[in-house]
Amino acid sequence: MRVRNIRFALSIVGSLLLGACSSDSNSVSVLPGGENPTTLPAVDGTSSGTETQNPGEQSPTTPLAEVPAEPVVSTARIDAQLQPGVLDNIVLDDGAAPITSGSWPRFTPDTSWTWQLLGDTNTNYDVDVYVLDMFQQLEGDVIERLHAQNKQVICYFSAGTFEPWRPDADLFANVPMGGEHYAYESEIWLDVTSPETAKVMANRMDMAVALGCDGVELDNVDGFVAETGLNITYEQELAYQRLLANEAHKRNLAVALKNAVEMIPDVAQYFDLAINEVCLVWNECGSYNAIIAAGKPVFHVEYDQTYVTDPVARAEMCARSAEINMRTLVMPKALDGTFRISCDE
């Protein structure tokens, strides 16, 4: 679930000298564990994109070539968050206790959803929540149009890696980094023990507020099970996740945990929902019991093309999903909106 367009990012450097400059969501890397997603007729007319991996295991598959795109992106709505010195005003508390009181959206296991990180967003789905790439929304009125339909928007960003094409890349100048991500060589693992890392992520949450996002999805917060070059421990990652969840709630943003299933028992009180990729494949869906038992949803995606082409296999998979009360979609790995199949329909 990565978007690549470094050439575009470099083109806006001159216009963002007073702030940060880098651009996201402009090309697709095929996710670990599979071929290029097959382009199929829209099953229900949706769009989507993400990465598939078993937390803690490096994929044996080398990502295929990236496919560039050329959107025109303006940072007008987040300029205030990109000015020099803005991070100096962010004070981060610890996450020793969860923040549970506030006006951010609450969801239930019955909350319906869709997920799209690339391409023109299909705003016609009859769902409660859209999960979209935050930086894709720097221009246009998708969030406003969804709000007009009484739909809520959760904005995705990577909280554990540095992506040099993002508009706020310059804000990472003092953030300690480790090695390359095992699936995406252009991404670098971040030192989650550094206050500078947390400050940049808090700044991204300020951007999310400025854009009108109702919540944030935190990706790549499982460095404790990866070869990061930083020797991140479980306890350090746990402190980082709790801290970011509290920072989201301070801003009245809902917060979604992406994968990192090992940590769910210790963070279920901090997060409002979870987003999982292919837990049925890895036999990990039971890890989400603490989330579901707390009355919170698990948004779940499977990418196996068998579920697209074989109705019987899909029905069996959906039945397994229903047994554990997950909201399951079948989508392309690129999460580009080419098709969407919901187990609830």
Question: Mapping DSSP to helix (H, G, I), strand (E, B) and coil, where does residue 216 land?
Answer: strand
What ranges in the chain are assigned the alpha helix state H? Answer: 6-11, 79-82, 142-148, 195-211, 234-250, 264-267, 289-293, 306-309, 311-323
Give the separation between CA 263 and CA 238, rounded to whole angstroms.
7
- How many other C-beta atoms can be found within 10 angstroms of the C-beta atom of residue 91? 8
Quote the CA–CA distance of 341 and 345 in Å, as a whole number: 8
Token pair belonging to 157? 């960003």
Give me the domains of the chain, ranges plus CATH numbers: 6-92+108-342 (3.20.20.70)
Q: SS3 letters for 18-72?
A: CCCCCCCCCEECCCCCCCCCCCCCCCCCCCCECCCCCCCCCCCCCCCCCEECCCC
Are 253 and 277 in contact, with CB atoms under 8 Å apart? no
Strand order in the sheet with 254-258: 113-116, 129-133, 152-158, 215-219, 254-258, 273-277, 298-302, 327-330, 341-342
pLDDT tens digits along 210-238: 999 999 999 999 999 999 999 999 999 99
pLDDT value at position 72? 54
Strand order in the sheet with 161-162: 161-162, 188-190, 177-180
User: Please, are residues 286 and 303 in contact by the beta-carbon 8 Å criterion?
Assistant: no
What is the per-residue pLDDT for 91?
Answer: 81
Q: How far apart are CA 27 and CA 119, in angstroms?
A: 10
Give the position of tokens 């949706």. Answer: 46
Looking at residue 209, its pLDDT comes to 95
- In this prediction, residue 213 carries a pLDDT of 97
List, for the chain, all residue ranges whose pLDDT scores fall below the cut of 50: 1-65, 68, 71
Q: What pLDDT is stored for residue 69 in this prediction?
A: 52
Alpha-carbon distance of 155 to 205, in angstroms, equals 9
pLDDT at 85: 82
